[in-house]
Structure 1
Amino acid sequence: MPVYNKLVRDNIPQVIEAAGKTCTMRTLGDEEYRQELRKKAFEELEEYMDAKDDATAVEELADLLEIIHALAECHGATIEQVEAIRASKAEKRGGFKEKIFLIEVHDE
């Protein structure tokens, strides 16, 4: 019997039952939920980093985006608010499209 002890997507218990299995689960409180979302973000980022092809990488990015949506809600924000902040930062400081790699800054 595998033990997972991790946050899973909402429909996973139904997927397990549809496969003819049973599972044990519980609903997390707000603070524990936030902590588990943070852990899940690292897990999904690691899976993205391990991706061997573009299709897998994009799938893992979608998982990360789902976590970002949930974290935004945990912090009392909408994904639209997060996007507005992202766009504002991009306007002021730029994005990452130019592929600039800063080596050092000289004080003169």
Structure 2
Amino acid sequence: MGKLVRDKIPDIIRRDGREPVVTVLDEAGFREALLAKLFEESTELSEAPPAQVPEEIADVLEVLHTLARVHGQDWRDIERLADAKRAERGGFDDRLYLG
């Protein structure tokens, strides 16, 4: 079973002396693969030791940026929307848990 990888990964594999099997996804397949990648990266973040947390957050962020682009959204608009929601509903700084 394959997975979505960053653009330079096939070249890195080739430099290592191996030949990757690469498929270019259509739009629907790409969106589906991006969502799967988001779950993969989120899982890696949840399991990461503290020293690796920044790198895993960066991976999640890269997937989110790409999801925004494929859905025709500008990241600045997403940030403005997040700011508006934070102003209206707050963030998560207070660690509140409804149970």
Pair in the same fold by TM > 0.5 = yes
CA distance in 2, matches of 1:66, 1:93: 26
Q: CA deviation at 1:20?
A: 1.4
User: TM-score under structure 1 normalisation?
Assistant: 0.87
Structure (1/2) with the larger helix percentage: 2
CA distance in 1, matches of 2:31, 2:83: 25
Q: Which has the larger radius of gyration?
A: 1
Q: Say yes or no: does 1:84 pair with 2:87.
A: no
Q: Which runs of 5+ in 1 are unaligned?
A: 104-108
Alignment match, 1:56 = 52
Alignment match, 1:72 = 68
Identity over the aligned pairs, expressed in percent?
37
| SS of residue paired to 1:28 | coil
Q: CA RMSD in A?
A: 1.0
User: TM-score under structure 2 normalisation?
Assistant: 0.94
Aligned length: 99
Task: Return the match for 1:95 from 83, 91, 97.
Answer: 91
